[in-house]
Structure 1
């Protein structure tokens, strides 16, 4: 008898199984929404799909009377700019310090305890301090993302460097390579695909910090819009925005995964 752990679904079945939870969730929502709207047609908690369509059309295609901008795209551009800035800076910090901590024992002895301590500080607890120090503008939001994700990336890359086969370092030194040559020719090529993995894993946290910062102090952005309309119980706006954020996060992750496969096929087991 073929064991369950050895049964691999085909492509069609894999797609079907992947879509099944979404279909079930949609069905549950339709049933619950229909029941609530049957009792109260003005119910705002579980709007109908027609209400979603009207809200999406209004937010995605009708210019705002106040600013003249199309709200959804303006919010998306603002949030993605903050996210890209914060995650990009975190990736650079993570790469530089991850290599330094992983390859140079003196630096590791001096900075590893500090980085470990930073990674244990809840970033949200520092949000008021960041607003006081950096103000309520863009910088404080980007700094929050950096503070929340950079220590994780540094620690992950440091561990990745330490896991590299020691034989690679010994052979490079036997051939006369200096520390910089070892970093550039041995460590860095091995670490770049792992950097993309670390960035992908940090995206969820980065979105949390971004939405929180926008909710507290912003005049645009996806998080700002969600918390702005919550006072009106506008679930027809909130739920599409949540779905849109989820889609953006998924597409970003998919793009980074594709970039990793394209740039580093050896890391994924060949040219697949």
Structure 2
């Protein structure tokens, strides 16, 4: 995504501050390669994230993680955002500074949109503007990246605390939390080629039964369900955003044949791939 940021104050391949989405090129589906914090100052915009539509109005805080699928559908004429984007490497570096990062990630993946009241919006907007000012005043500072990273960490904590209960800073991550986070990373990377729980369990050095128990404990869904839902999401994106025929999509996702893919897709989505492709926005 950082390649789209032409009207941004950018620290190359690291962090960007954006005040316009016109240059993002989001009229089509984009698999985001950055983490994004977006605060809507005025106006409104409709966006799709992982094919679910959200309506963002003034006062909204919207969070996007790397590898999610994003498209902007329409914005009002007065739409004005302030936005921070971090490269995947940068957010990986920052997220380890949070003691309960698994719960943090899961919370905002499930609920990426938070509508703030005026007091909370004004507080958060002031922090966004402060970080924006730091971009402008640290260009010649030899420690610019370190300064910005520390202010960004503070802003991330503020985003968490302003919309939810504070996260304790002395929490020790359980083995289950660590394993589940590693599992999700592997699914994002390998879901097109590998559909079995055994593959991911082998990569983690545990049994498939234990991996499913960990996923169930952390999220209420077993490991196979997480794998299948990620494959189904990828299939939806391929069907909606490309001219490839269904057989080609089936091959990309490593199904043995188009019939098997069709049965899988209907079980997960509720309609056939052909029927889904015909659906309109």
Fold-level match, TM-score > 0.5? no
| TM norm structure 1 | 0.24
| TM norm structure 2 | 0.23
The structure with the largest strand share of the pair is: 2
Which structure is larger by alpha-carbon Rg, 1 or 2?
1
